[in-house]
Amino acid sequence: MSGVMCDLAIIGGGLSGGLIALAARRAQPERRILIIEAAPALGGAHLWSFIDSDIGPEEKALLQPLVNFGWRDFAVVFPNYKRALPFPFYSLRSDRFDEALREAMPAESILTGRRATGVSADGVILEDGTMISAHGVVDARGPGDLSLLDLHYRKFVGYELTLNGPHSVRRATLIDAAADPAEGFQYMAMLPIENDRLFIEDVRYEAWPDLDMTDHGNRIVNHAARFGWRIRSSARGQAGILPIALGGDFADYWNSGGVGVAKVGLRAGLFHPVTGNSLADAARTALMIATAQDWSGAALHGMLQEHAAKCWAQRDYYRRFARRMLRDMEPAQGYTVLQSLYAMDADLIARFHGMRLGWADRLALSMGEGPMPVSAMFRG
């Protein structure tokens, strides 16, 4: 089939790839950008969330038009206490994500339902034989070879529920670990949407990647019953498994996703080592690419590899935090590490989520009832 030419080809229309396309289109509208996604829609079926303090002003400007819901603060609930934290919390839904990208980009720049079978630094071959020649290519298709990393997994299943009556939730609840702590390291999250609509998600950390949808669903129903809520209907569900990297060789992992090819998102190892979330990283790398003048494959690869390697090295402390939470503790006691974290100063908690901890923060986390041993301060 005939070839296609473009300045930038983005492989994968999930969160990382879509944000690159949106940011690049806004920053350099005169250049031709293609986004290629195997699924029929961009973004899949997801509800992404972030804390206001996770990102800077430029990232916030990129994400703000995509936001569906927002709350002035968020809560955490543990067996020993509950607490509200004074940071705005936002969620964006993948249907809005898809809509915004289609509004921003020419129709011919979005190739959905098209699978890439060959990817290089300056070209893509699609399953139907179409050859795309690009000044540069960015691969955002998901993880590389995860067997090269020492992993745990954060699994989640959530549904937007309509109840028979009003619920009592007034703020976003990031963690509710008050119920059934003996069953393992799991908790619920709740997002109030309307008086009778609520998003409830069952989250658990486990050492294996299998997802039991029935068990997660039963947990959600039981959680609603615990509060006396009767479910009238459910809609817009999401399910996923996020890698939690406790260690591994970054260089080997990077190359496993394609030697010499620029990568972002999970494929680049850019995710929070404790939560697995990648939204803040996705927004940052999108702006890096959008404002770069050189979109050649070699330049993009060099820039993104250096950035990802630096992030991997800087996040060693967070991987050690995750190891303490998931390996040093019995599964049913892993939540106590988070319980100790969320008892700390609110600004320290915000810096933890944003991966901006300083030495004074690490000292605070190692003192008294803090979650980390003193020895953790002096490594990484």
pLDDT at 131: 96
CB atoms within 10 A of CB 48: 21
pLDDT at 183 over 80: no
pLDDT at 273: 96
The mean pLDDT value for 335-342 works out to 95
Pairing of strands 123-126, 116-120: antiparallel
pLDDT at 379: 61
Q: What whole-number distance in Å separates Cα of residue 51 and Cα of residue 133?
A: 39
pLDDT at 1: 39
Selected residue with higher pLDDT from 263 and 81: 263
Q: What are phi and psi of 11, to 5 degrees?
A: -100, 110
Instruction: Write the pLDDT tens digit of every residue in 33-43.
Output: 999 999 999 99
Q: What whole-number distance in Å separates Cα of residue 139 and Cα of residue 121?
A: 9
pLDDT at 302 over 80: yes
User: Hunting for tokens 């590389």 — which residue is that?
Assistant: 144
Pairing of strands 33-37, 110-112: parallel
pLDDT at 182: 57
Q: What is the percent of the chain where pLDDT is above 90?
A: 92
Pairing of strands 69-71, 197-206: unpaired
- pTM reported for the whole predicted model: 0.95
Q: What are phi and psi of 288, to 5 degrees?
A: -60, -45
Residue 180's pLDDT band, with cuts at 50, 70 and 90, is low
User: Hunting for tokens 């996770």 — which residue is that?
Assistant: 54
Instruction: Write the pLDDT tens digit of every residue in 225-262.
Output: 999 999 999 988 999 999 999 999 999 999 999 999 99
- The domain ranges of the chain are 332-378
CB–CB of 266/154 below 8 Å? Answer: no
Residue 353's pLDDT band, with cuts at 50, 70 and 90, is very high
pLDDT at 184: 82
pLDDT at 210: 94
Q: Which pair of tokens denotes residue 76?
A: 């955490």
pLDDT at 179 over 80: no
CB–CB of 126/117 below 8 Å? Answer: yes
Contacts of 254 (CB under 8 A, 6+ apart): 144, 263, 268, 269, 305, 308, 309
CB–CB of 153/244 below 8 Å? Answer: yes
Q: What whole-number distance in Å separates Cα of residue 112 and Cα of residue 61?
A: 26
Beta bridge partners of residue 237, listed in sequence order: 159
CB–CB of 352/277 below 8 Å? Answer: no
pLDDT at 374: 86
pLDDT at 186: 93
pLDDT at 118: 96
Q: What whole-number distance in Å separates Cα of residue 130 and Cα of residue 2?
A: 6
Contacts of 241 (CB under 8 A, 6+ apart): 153, 154, 155, 209, 211
Q: What is the mean pLDDT of the chain?
A: 95
Q: What are phi and psi of 156, to 5 degrees?
A: -150, 145
pLDDT at 88 over 50: yes
Instruction: Classify burial at 187, counting beta carbons within 10 Å of its beta carbon; exposed 0-12, middle 13-18, buried 19 or more.
Output: buried
How many CA within 13 A on the CB side of residue 180? 14
What is residue 275's three-state secondary structure? Answer: coil
CA distances from 232 to 165, 171, 197, 198, 223 (A): 9, 22, 10, 11, 15
Q: What whole-number distance in Å separates Cα of residue 240 and Cα of residue 211?
A: 8
CB–CB of 79/177 below 8 Å? Answer: yes
Q: Quick one: which of 177, 197, 193 has its CA closest to 185?
A: 177
pLDDT at 141 over 50: yes
Instruction: Give Cα 203 distance to the centre of its chain.
Output: 14
Q: Which pair of tokens denotes residue 258?
A: 């394609």
Residue 46's pLDDT band, with cuts at 50, 70 and 90, is very high
